[in-house]
Amino acid sequence: MKIVKISPFIYDIEREGDMLVPARMFTDEVLLERIKQDRTIEQLINITHLPGIVKRALLMPDGHQGYGFPIGGVAAFDVEKGVISPGGVGYDINCGVRSVALSVSLSEMKSKLEEVMKALYLRIPKGMVSDAAIYPVRGKELDNILTCGARMAVKKGFGKEEDLERIEDGGCLVDADPSMVSEEARERGGKELGSLGSGNHFLEMDVVDEIYDGDVAHVFGLEEGQMVLLVHTGSRGLGHQVCGDYIKKMRSTDYGITVPDRELISVPILSEDGKEYFSAMCASANFAFANRQIISFKAVETIGEVLKRNVDYNLVYDVCHNIAKIEEHMVDGKKMRLCVHRKGATRAFPPRHKLTPSSFKEVGQPVNIPGSMGSYSYICVGTKEAMEESFGSICHGAGRIMGRRKALKSFKKDVLEDLEKRGIVILSPSVRSLLEEVPGAYKDIEEIISIVEGANLAKKIVRLRPVGIVKG
């Protein structure tokens, strides 16, 4: 394996052996050494062996070892000749981040912050299994959620019609087919709609701490000192079950596809199995869009009740980072229809792209990039260069540098006390779940952002500072 430094933020792995394309890592020298410590690079190279892959396999700066694809892995496949792989999407289908600008300033929130966070902790269901979802559904009503996503949530009173303009794909993937979702997945999801989940999922109260581009921030509806709500969660048990169901099903098929890792089990995109998985994945994504829509609406409502006034909100944007999308991209001067897998990576489309929402047509699509618990988060904007270099993709967060078990062994409760001393109100079902997600278990978000900016994949617009966190 030969790694070639192209620029301070771009490293290439040249094509050799059975690789169908080269690979590219957006990183720097320090993070590259961290990446080498697990199977991340091996997994990246494995992707290059998959049929129909075009241009190159990619790794974002927050990349680390995952299931099948590394987290932070991006790859695009020719729809006619390529494959689709559940390992390139992940178990938490359409895990994503929503940013909501509130009509509340830090000065108003400060005296009520602890009360607000406690109310959010009590009102927003969380944990591995939830029997207290905000909006449990079943039968035809669940079908409607799986088919229409956030559109159905808004129709049921959770939010405003204008929210849909500020959700990736309008909050609804039209290729969804609820009949492709198993009964077990439906049973798991039906009682979890409107719940946060566990692990690295969170609900966070932030303040706009610094603005780098005032004109774009104004278009996003953001100003310094304003409170912003971040919601990070996905399709819960429904998406997890769908992924597991189709991995099992694909392993019983034989399309003559040889993969270097059984976690990369794949089928042709246009095969019946490929179409069925894609339809079920889209249905799971719609569930996740509805889930974040419901949670954020309930959170804003709760904040208003604590502050004893009507709190208005403006949805900045909702992006997903575990998904496969059918998109058109230019490859070697030719427009191609591709299935773009983004595993722990976020779409970042530039100004005047046909899929950039009309509200942001002249400035580019907002991209939410959360940091680790207690660190800064950023809202960035996509660039034209990202379309050329990464299929319009960038990182999705800070990225882990150690697993949860190691984090538990490495950190003590005083880390959490330090966060509290910094004025951050933190609430969680257990100390264990907090220690698993402490900042030291993640890469430095400042370094991650400097790499995506240095590689011209995105431009930072605002920096958010956390003041309150509810962990799943």
Judge whether 32 and 1 are in contact, CB under 8 Å. Answer: no
From 64, 201, 321, 396, active-site residue: 396
CA distances, 38 to each of 58, 66, 73, 292, 345 (Å): 17, 10, 15, 32, 19
Question: 343 CB contacts (<8 Å, ≥6 apart)?
Answer: 66, 68, 69, 70, 71, 72, 73, 74, 87, 88, 89, 90, 322
How far apart CA 80 and CA 399 sit, in angstroms, is: 33
Burial of 351-375, coded b for 16+ CB within 10 Å and e otherwise, reads: bebeebbebbeebbbbbbbbbbbbb
Q: Report helix, strand or coil for 392.
A: coil
Per this entry, what is the length of the chain? 472
When computed from its CA atoms, the radius of gyration of the chain, rounded to whole angstroms, is: 21
Q: Report helix, strand or coil for 287.
A: helix
Q: Is 396 a catalytic residue?
A: yes
DSSP states of 134-161: SS---HHHHHHHHHHTHHHHHHTTSS-G
DSSP states of 92-127: STT-EEEEEEEEEEHHHHGGGHHHHHHHHHHHS--S
Neighbours of 310 (CB within 10 A): 9
Instruction: Compute, in degrees rounded to 10, the torsion defined by CA atoms 243, 244, 247, 251.
Output: -170
How far apart CA 255 and CA 321 sit, in angstroms, is: 28
Q: State the catalytic residues.
A: 396
